Amino acid sequence: MSAVDFCGIELAHPIVNGSGTFDAIAAHAVFGDALLEDFPFSAFVSKTITLAVRDGNPPPRLWETPSGMINSIGLPNKGLAGYLEHDLPKLAALPVPLITNVMGSTAGELCELVAACDGQEAIRAIELNVSCPNVKTGLDIGADPASLAEVMRAVRPQTAKPLIVKLTPNTADVALVAAAAEAEGADAVSLINTLRATAQHPDGSGRPWLGGVTGGMSGPAIRAVALAQVTAVAARVSIPVVGMGGVQRGEHAAQLLRAGATLVAVGTESFRDSAAGSRIARELDRLEAR
Ligand SMILES: Cc1cc2nc3c(=O)[nH]c(=O)nc-3n(C[C@H](O)[C@H](O)[C@H](O)COP(=O)(O)O)c2cc1C
């Protein structure tokens, strides 16, 4: 398989996981060391970690759409202290480099999270999930280039590790936001996160189905949107791009790479096939060998 240099980190192939879509700790408990012998991804991206513990949204948390799903899970996590104490030692034992994904609603929160990750040798890179409302404006930090630039100016000095900004697709011009991230020192950008979506209760009352009212749509239904946004961003920035959204087969990954991505992340497909990452890496290899 073709090795890739990503921000100075040597990866065995270009397929990683999308944050929050593969629980490596649970998978290790179920599959044992067989998981480590054929780990599906060339780097592991943690689910989003926040400063405080989060319980996530009330149920129901999932809705199936044609060729996709809406999740309103709400980023439940143990908080920074719980992650460092309980999860990090287990994730550090994985056979691939670890990328920790963090989210905060203020620059101060993000600075604290990034500084804490900077102090951990096992964390090779940090991904900033900027799909979080700014407490001052109520808008998602990553929806507005000026808001993202302000946050980046505070966060960037907190670490010398590669900083990946995970862009939100729920914005007018994602390439403009990517350019702002690059100008403020991002080492890479990743996209797309889920598209904001909702569903009504099937009882016809019009009330929302999801406990969190809205959620994020993922899966094959968003693949064409991902391809458009990855193409626009890769044409705009010089830093590496991690492309994702609806990837199910090697050909889908190849399309994102042709659009300019350096790495491709697999998300929803891993719920259907927990070995999707290594399968897609092999399919990609066969396509490249042609
Ligand atoms: C159940 C679920 C949980 C997710 N959790 C996170 C998360 O914690 N942090 C994050 O940045 N993205 C999260 N995502 C978004 C994915 O990483 C990815 O950007 C998105 O799902 C698009 O890729 P896909 O269509 O291959 O799933 C989540 C997606 C799903 C479906």
Can you give the CATH number for the domain in which 222 is found?
3.20.20.70
CA of 266 to the centre of ligand 1 (A): 9
- Atom number, ligand 1, closest to the C-alpha of residue 17: 17
| pLDDT score of 203 more than 80 | yes
Q: Where are the beta strands (DSSP E) in 140-283?
A: 163-166, 188-191, 195-198, 214-218, 241-244, 263-266
The answer to whether residue 66 sits within a structural domain is no
The answer to whether residue 153 sits within a structural domain is yes
Give the SS3 label for residue 31. helix
The answer to whether residue 263 sits within a structural domain is yes
Q: Is there an atom of ligand 1 within 6 Å of 215 CB?
A: no
DSSP assignment of 53-111 equals -B--PPSP-EEEETTEEEE-----B-HHHHIIIIIHHHHHTSSS-EEEEE--SSHHHHH
Active site residues: 132
- Atom number, ligand 1, closest to the C-alpha of residue 244: 23
| pLDDT score of 252 more than 70 | yes
Q: Is there an atom of ligand 1 within 6 Å of 229 CB?
A: no
Partnered with residue 70 across adjacent β-strands are 63, 217
68 is known to lie in a ligand binding site: no
Query: For the chain, what is the domain count?
Result: 1
Q: What is the mean pLDDT of residues 107-120?
A: 97
Measured between alpha carbons, how far is 158 from 236 in angstroms, rounded to an integer? Answer: 26
User: What residue owns the CA closest to ligand 1's atom 19?
Assistant: 193
Give the SS3 label for residue 194. coil
The answer to whether residue 275 sits within a structural domain is yes
pLDDT of residue 186: 98
Lowest mean pLDDT among 52-56, 110-114, 130-134, 276-280: 130-134
- Atom number, ligand 1, closest to the C-alpha of residue 247: 26
Measured between alpha carbons, how far is 227 from 208 in angstroms, rounded to an integer? Answer: 30
- Structural domain including 227 reads 4-57+74-203+218-289
Tens digits of residue pLDDT in 83-92: 999 999 999 9
pLDDT band at residue 134 using 50, 70 and 90 as cut-offs:
low
Partnered with residue 217 across adjacent β-strands are 70, 195
Tens digits of residue pLDDT in 150-182: 999 999 999 999 999 999 999 999 999 999 999
pLDDT band at residue 94 using 50, 70 and 90 as cut-offs:
very high
pLDDT of residue 209: 98
pLDDT band at residue 138 using 50, 70 and 90 as cut-offs:
low
CA of 244 to the centre of ligand 1 (A): 9
| pLDDT score of 205 more than 70 | yes
**Encoded tokens for 158:** 């907190």
Mutate to test the pocket of ligand 1, among 44, 168, 218 (most ligand atoms within 8 A of CB): 218
77 is known to lie in a ligand binding site: no
pLDDT of residue 131: 86
190 is known to lie in a ligand binding site: no
The answer to whether residue 211 sits within a structural domain is no
The answer to whether residue 199 sits within a structural domain is yes
Q: Is there an atom of ligand 1 within 6 Å of 129 CB?
A: yes
CA atoms within 13 A on the CB side of 29: 5
CA of 290 to the centre of ligand 1 (A): 31
The answer to whether residue 212 sits within a structural domain is no
Q: What percent of the chain is predicted at pLDDT more than 90?
A: 94
pLDDT band at residue 238 using 50, 70 and 90 as cut-offs:
very high
User: What residue owns the CA closest to ligand 1's atom 10?
Assistant: 19
198 is known to lie in a ligand binding site: no
Q: Is there an atom of ligand 1 within 6 Å of 194 CB?
A: yes
pLDDT band at residue 136 using 50, 70 and 90 as cut-offs:
low
Mutate to test the pocket of ligand 1, among 194, 227, 271 (most ligand atoms within 8 A of CB): 194
Q: Is there an atom of ligand 1 within 6 Å of 169 CB?
A: no
The answer to whether residue 83 sits within a structural domain is yes
